[in-house]
Structure 1
């Protein structure tokens, strides 16, 4: 690639990030305009776009499927019912609310992608916040951060974990045994930070209305069908890859969405068009745009340069290389969205191992899975950096984008700088805990 093109890519991407950070325009519009500029300059071409499609299809399928299932469940009243039950459990205490929220998000994210978890629990959070008379922004931001941490509990908890697990050849159950503990630590780190970062909510005390009781579920037969679609999707996440004809998580998400749409079609609860109107297309488009930027940045050769730098600086000191990746990828994911950052970092990490002669050059391909056990801590460090580093900024993860979008839709926009006040301390503490986990993991292999 000509050097002038590389400078143009860096300049345009920097301008896009500046527009988002300074709130000069909508972030999706900024990302699209940047790609338009690169296209007019002759830098972005059709093969680049198709490679971005191939790289993002799994992550976007997981997000889209989860969004559809969550939206189909909305007319059943199940979220209002769950919100009232949560409110009763809090007994008017903001502290209990945040702690119960931690448990709820952790459980949901263990079986569903993190952005989907945010969509599912958001109506519950908004219901409780209104009754406790607290600002929804804090709990919604906390939910995004919890979902990013809890997304590390399973292979399908975060599109980024799926990308790394797929690259390394980890099955759902193998991931549970080797990586999930790191997700537990990332969640645990958040608890002592809650009184400091979300103090107003933590100290809230309210008297609840007497006789508070959850409303009955509306359209129980339709609700059962929609919940069955969700259960099918979760079941396929768990066993799909071990079936005679393997079904990978993105395919399972699309199947679950299809069943949910069938429930809407057959029950005629509402027009199917309403479901598609409510899908967060802006977030999906923004993530795809970020994947396109990663593709262009990859063309500049900077990732191959990083691989050579890792090899030159650390040689076969895998633990130190892992720590460096944890910090550097963590920083990058705050500004480039963690899904595309992790997708690019996988290639960089593979290149590092090829340079070490630990694996053949074929390992750079998507189908190679014969990785030595000693490589796992490095991949895990890179994955944790990408996932938890994304907590630092508003655009750092799909869950952050979804959470902020929900706040805006409910009349409470969240600015880039406001999110930083929560995100930076959380990301730093979680990355420190992740470094300890990577060290422990390296000692057990």
Structure 2
């Protein structure tokens, strides 16, 4: 028997440490070579760590929510026979690169006690499991009635949504889901509002404590740092998108096998055509070096809501893509973010971010800047209202128009209020004259 200390390998350029968001084994378990050991989260992505050897887990680095330095001990595994030389070489190289020499197998003198983990650790780990894998409850739940079980398994919903529906006595099969087929809390709220029978009739939900770990912890840290370090200001302008929506409908009628256009590709294209005259908007600010980098290429961050929290995949070189290419890339990146398959390079390096809540966009928003960027743009909900419209003969007539507010939050250390307003006014002109967006 030999004890192998598995050191956390380098899992990304510039990464010094990673957070434990889930353990797939516990002390005393047997793990096979290439078996899933743990999920580790960096600032950029979640990485699944696999065991390089087969054996029994004797020690783990910590609990869910703890951090482990690159090159530091992640787990100690007792193996039968000798550890392969190539595995030892790679493992020791990782430790040496991190200035933390790996202990040799025959020098491990510390007595390792095999302990049963606290049940709460298993509960915390279960909260970080990737989308669509139901989290195990700490105690078996009573079996639902056959009719309910038969229908609930046919709909897509997170464990939290399923639990809430069960507490309220709602059959998920009766709830209309989002366009992607997944039922969310907002869908339950809408069902309650219109059904009448469930409003206020369900039992009070029990209090629950949720440990802030993984992606939610990163979001909390990033948002706090952004508001703490950046003096935000927000500017909002109303835009008439009637002609833009008519153009979008015409393009969709003749799209063939190309993806259906939403408003987002048109808005992104208009932004890219406006930015060359406002380079201070497409920039990143290095606080420590006190340097602002104004970027020529537009690497557009796209705030995307997932079951695990907000993620920002990046559309590379958005300025070089046409509407259909943008639509396809938006769909691909959104799906990758929601399914947890987005690569680390697809979640970093943005120079400007756009955040849209679609039909939930509200009248106006004050989005928080995605640091170290200096601006973030938020289109709001499209609403129809009567409006005075000047006719070719100079007369004004009241017409029903589609209107949308555009919000932009900027870093006041870098962007002046006048520049932000001028940028949005120029963007407004392009959106109200769609031909300028389609022109080469």
TM-score by length of 1: 0.24
Q: Which has the larger radius of gyration?
A: 2
Higher RCO (CA 8 Å, separation ≥ 6 residues): 1
Higher strand fraction (1 or 2): 2
